[in-house]
Amino acid sequence: MKISMDIELTDIPGQLVLALKPVSDLGGNILSVLHQRDKKTPSGRIPVQLTLEIEEQGLDRLVERLKERDVNVVRIGKERLKESMMVLLIGHIVHTDLGETIDSIDSTGFAEVVELSLSMPGVDKKSSASVTLSAIGKEELKEALNILERTVNKKGIMIIPSI
């Protein structure tokens, strides 16, 4: 998947190469590097913005390896998901495998469930959830909504999208 990442390097020559190496080591691809040599963080580090392509499973290890090399990872780009919408679900949300419902979106690679709040009034009563979907573009967001609709329809859950 494609992600963006803000990192901070110590101000020593060769740090950038050192920081980029684990990406290729883990089978990833650097798509762009924005290296602002003239900018410094208050702690004297140099901020760099990366865009890269990497397997989702590799992401955690990448962050670990960067830390080992004294690279600060300040942000992992959720903002690649530019479009968001809220939907509401009403029904037996938890007992119909909420994990799988969320997974149906997260596994697309182009959309994610970025926020979820649940309201469960009683054991055998219907619960409600507000879910924020984010996707990389408008079309993808629409598709994510379709997928979610199909998933919850099968489970007898009502879905209320925003206008």
- Contacting residues toward another protein, per CB under 8 A: 86-88, 90-91, 117, 119, 121, 126-130, 158, 160-163
d(CA 21, CA 28): 10
d(CA 68, CA 92): 44
In the complex with another protein, the residue whose CB is nearer, 32 or 117, is: 117
CB environment 123-138: b (16+ within 10 A), e (fewer): eeebbbbebebbbbee
Q: What's the closest the beta carbon of residue 78 comes to another protein, in angstroms? A: 18
Q: What's the closest the beta carbon of residue 89 comes to another protein, in angstroms? A: 8
Integer-rounded Cα radius of gyration of the chain: 20
- Could you give the dihedral angle defined by the CA atoms of residues 57, 60, 66 and 72, in that order, rounded to the nearest 10 degrees? 140
d(CA 65, CA 58): 11
Q: What's the closest the beta carbon of residue 90 comes to another protein, in angstroms? A: 5
In the complex with another protein, the residue whose CB is nearer, 54 or 131, is: 131
In the complex with another protein, the residue whose CB is nearer, 32 or 162, is: 162
Q: What's the closest the beta carbon of residue 85 comes to another protein, in angstroms? A: 9
In the complex with another protein, the residue whose CB is nearer, 74 or 160, is: 160
